[in-house]
Amino acid sequence: MPNYILFTIPKIMIMVGFLLNVGGILTWVDRRQSAMIQDRVGPNRAVLKIGSLELRLFGLLHPAADGVKLIFKEDFMPPKADKLLYSLAPILAMIPVFCLLAVIPFGDTICPDQLFAKVDGALSFPSIARSGVCTFDARTGLQAIDLQIAPLDVGVLFIFAMAGQGIVSATISGWASDNKFSLMGALRAASQMVSYEVTLGLSIIGALMIYGTVRMADMVRWQADHTWGIFVQPVAFFIFFAALVAESKRVPFDLPEAESELVSGYFTEYSGMKFGMFMTAEYMEVVTSSMLLVTIFLGGWSLPFIHRDGVTIAFGETVLAHQALPHLAVTLIGVLAFFAKVLFLCWIQCFIRWSLPRFRYDQLMRLCWKMLLPVSLANIFVTGVVWLLVDMAPPSVAAALQFVGDLTMAFVAVLVTYGVFAAVTGLLRSRPKDGRIVGQSAEITARIGKSPISPMQA
């Protein structure tokens, strides 16, 4: 028990620290990315002055300034609000988000007896077998270390149980605020979240049929040995992705917070840190939803051709190359790969927010009940039929499918390599400035030869 607690605390610190920091940075990403898409100056007003030196840090000081502002802002409460429920709602909004972290694995199991060894008095870092389980380390008395806070057998079921609690927070906040607009926003949020939770659950049934387990870590191991879930369940991936965005109530599914209709939705009457908790919970939901997508459909911590024993480039039964890697190195690569995938999906969700218009409420519900839900049911039926046919087919069919799975991993490897190269070269390339004057005010300024306002810093 002491050893279990000793290694659980660092795992909690890693996951919670990543969630809080990325959730805060996403507020800057939303501002910066929206400015880039709309071709305007983004966050640049928060300045740290050190003598004559001004540090703007690309607007990264804005999240810190927002936090300080929310801490010292007046905590207003409506006179006729239910004081207990009104104060409890922001807490209930954040608790489920943190609870979801418990069952999400961020790396492969660590075998303590294989981390290092002494050969002829020199310290070495051995590799381990591709398959098998870790044994008890008699030297240190340590069992295998799962890079998962709570490796529960229920896995996905626990996630759906905790994610459903977000409905309670939205409903309570709208009702306890004594505001009709807040109540309307709460009713919208409750109906939207209940509806899309049905689609969310049905969309992954096909993946569970293929993986044969509800344990999150075992899902990742199946994908590492075969292919990523997005290739065996592409329809489920897009349905699950759309339902997750709807569950987080972000554009184009932000009907509960539609400012043109409901002011600010179910948390209209909240201010100060209570409002900050709602906003932070929304951004943290983006992070946890990305973690779920990565774990179930994008291979979790696995990378193409990288297994527990090292790098093995193989297509079917043909092994082209193999390079053993230390167990510690493979584990670290897996952890970094998991968090890199999560950051990429967070960026994709921010990109979607500033690219799509908001649905009408009837369109929102029609999309769920008349489109996504029937497609998810059809996906379950098709998956069951195909799985039975494959199970009854001769071994050559399974070998052919494994070869196709290896080809998809090769495609992913090429795509990731190109993406990293394009991102690095794009950041290093200087973009030419457009010196043309656009707009009447700019023409007047150019004619008189000066501007009374100093130009903003990009």
Enter the pTM of the model: 0.89
Q: What is the pLDDT of residue 138?
A: 61
pLDDT in tens, 284-337: 999 999 999 999 999 999 999 999 889 999 888 888 898 988 888 999 999 999
Contacts of 400 (CB under 8 A, 6+ apart): none
Beta partners for 306? 303, 311
In the structure, what pLDDT confidence band is assigned to residue 135 with cuts at 50, 70 and 90?
low
Q: What is the pLDDT of residue 165?
A: 83
pLDDT in tens, 254-288: 888 776 666 677 888 888 888 889 888 989 999 99
pLDDT in tens, 184-193: 888 888 899 9
Q: What is the mean pLDDT of residues 231-250?
A: 93
Half-sphere exposure of 420 (CA within 13 A, CB side): 8
